[in-house]
Amino acid sequence: MKRRFAFPPLALAFLVGSGLLAFWGATTGAARESAGSADERAGQRAIADTRGRSAAIKDVLPSSVRVAVELEGKPARSASGVVIGSSGSGKEKVGYVITNAHVAAAAKEQAPKFEILVDRKGKPTARLAAKVIALGQVPDVDLAVLEVPGLDAAPARFAADDSLELGDDVIAIGAPFGKGLSVSSGIVSQLDLDDAGIATGFKTDAPIGYGASGGGIFRVSDGALLAVVEGYRTVKVSFPVAEHEYSFDMPMPGETFAAPVAKVRAFLRDHGLGHLAGPRPAHATAP
């Protein structure tokens, strides 16, 4: 088993056609419960009682976008992103989108072109040119920020660093194969914590696929951004065709990895963009 950031579209098409997509691997991992505010958790549960996933999706969709990368005038790859802030107003407005470094760093020597695709109900898809203004180093910090002139979209609201809870209901929004935004749901299935109880690693069982890299994972109860998708674990599937044997890496259910909100905040601060994440809230009682 290994962790992947991409899944070839032709491979998926072949597997669907051959019926092999029904084969899935499964693993389990140790889960560590994070520390957080009891009052906040109680409030989230109370809200969740009267709030469904449908309402949460409506709240966070305006912050979700598609990312397209072109090389030499041809589509090279697709990914996802989350709007995290803006500056200016009117015609001078500039938006900022967070995505993955393995997307933004694609074939730098070939001068890639980036576009943000904004999908809104009842409106044609808007295509806006973008440029990379912050880039992390894969695999340690698989994050990047794109600057997008003309982007006018509601930014996501960041969760508090210490508010991530094992078992929280979440929705993941991405653009599989670049064909449009798609929503999946699950829970926070694993958290790696530092000594202060802040998440340094994040896993959810919400399924994703190729093209979802850079998408947001949001908490259902309040719509807050909990993490940014980095990749997923795969299992190799082999099968014979005539006299040849083929194999493909397939996403494993329950093995979606993401950068937790504290890691995203740290990345933004390190690149002089801390203001995009707003204040650094912490709900734990101060000593």
Is 74's pLDDT higher than 80? yes
Of residues 36 and 105, which shows the higher confidence score? 105
Q: Predicted confidence band at 65 (pLDDT cuts at 50, 70, 90)?
A: very high
46-60 pLDDT tens trace: 455 446 889 999 999
Q: Predicted confidence band at 110 (pLDDT cuts at 50, 70, 90)?
A: confident
Is 73's pLDDT higher than 90? no
Q: Position of tokens 């914590």?
A: 193
Averaged pLDDT, 159-163: 95
Question: Strand, coil or helix: what is 152?
Answer: coil
Burial 78-89 (b: 16+ CB within 10 A, else e): bbbbbbbbbeee
Distance (Å) of CA 11 to CA 20, 76, 145, 247: 11, 16, 30, 9
pLDDT value at position 287? Answer: 33
Q: Do domains 2-17+27-61+157-271 and 63-149 have the same CATH topology?
A: yes
28-44 pLDDT tens trace: 333 334 444 555 555 55
Query: What CATH number has the domain spanning 63-149?
Result: 2.40.10.10
pTM of the model: 0.76
Active-site residues: which are they? 102, 142, 213
Q: Predicted confidence band at 90 (pLDDT cuts at 50, 70, 90)?
A: confident
Over the chain, what is the mean pLDDT?
Answer: 81
Is 263's pLDDT higher than 90? yes
2-17+27-61+157-271 CATH fold: Thrombin, subunit H (2.40.10)
Could you state, in order of their start, the residue ranges of all structural domains in the chain?
Answer: 2-17+27-61+157-271, 63-149
Q: Where are the beta strands (DSSP E) in the chain?
A: 2-4, 64-71, 74-87, 94-99, 113-118, 126-135, 144-149, 169-174, 182-193, 199-204, 216-219, 225-241, 244-260
pLDDT value at position 17? Answer: 41
pLDDT value at position 63? Answer: 97
